[in-house]
Amino acid sequence: MKTIAKPYQSTIDIKKSKFICRLYPAQNEMEAKEIISKISEEFKDATHNCSAYLVSDGEGYDDDGEPGGTAGRPMLNVLKKNNLQNSVAVVTRYFGGIKLGAGGLVRAYSKSVLETLAVAEIVEMEAYELFKVTFSYPDIKSIDNDVRSQNLAVTDKEYDSLVRYTIATANAEQINGFKEKYNDKIQVEYLGRRYLEKMD
């Protein structure tokens, strides 16, 4: 699965109208809608804030007052044609006084997203199961050795009264092996499934 590495933005001017496209990575529909809402609020002085998103649990688009089918749908089509997932596009338009017509709007919104994709870094993503593993300090060396030998990815480490590693794995059976080996020495909490940049 491909997505954009981080937020990107670009601006194009077409017949005195300004089109500002912002691309964001997003894990799910809730996150996508939060991004769209935030941008729409921040740039509420704009004539339109049109949007499209394609995420793991759904897709959607909004013409935000432009004629139906001339903004959001073409933007979504650009994301699909570029095989992107977990991505949100918001194009903010400041009207310049010259009407573009339906065909002109479709081309303008599509071009705005394409221009931003041209400067964006695209990364390969994969679904991983995330687990929080809690253990005592004396077990750090042994746990670290097992993490390395099993090619597990530690995405976060916390050092408090106990040690907590957030571990990402494409194969949850590996964590079961941890549980069996360390028995009551570790606590394992399942954090859910997330798309992360592909790990070698």
What single DSSP character describes residue 84? Answer: B
The per-residue pLDDT for 200 is 61
| Nearest alpha-carbon partner for 25 in 48, 46, 49, 56 | 56
- For position 161, what pLDDT does the model report? 93
Angle at 36 between CA 33 and CA 42, to 5 degrees: 140
99 to each of 17, 43, 102, 125, 172, how far by Cα in Å?
A: 9, 21, 9, 40, 55
The string of pLDDT tens digits covering residues 167-198 is: 998 888 888 887 888 888 888 899 887 777 77
Spans in the chain with pLDDT lower than 70: 199-200
The pLDDT of residue 147 is 87
What confidence tens digit (pLDDT) does each residue in 124-150 have? 878 788 999 999 999 999 999 988 888
- The pTM of this model reads 0.74
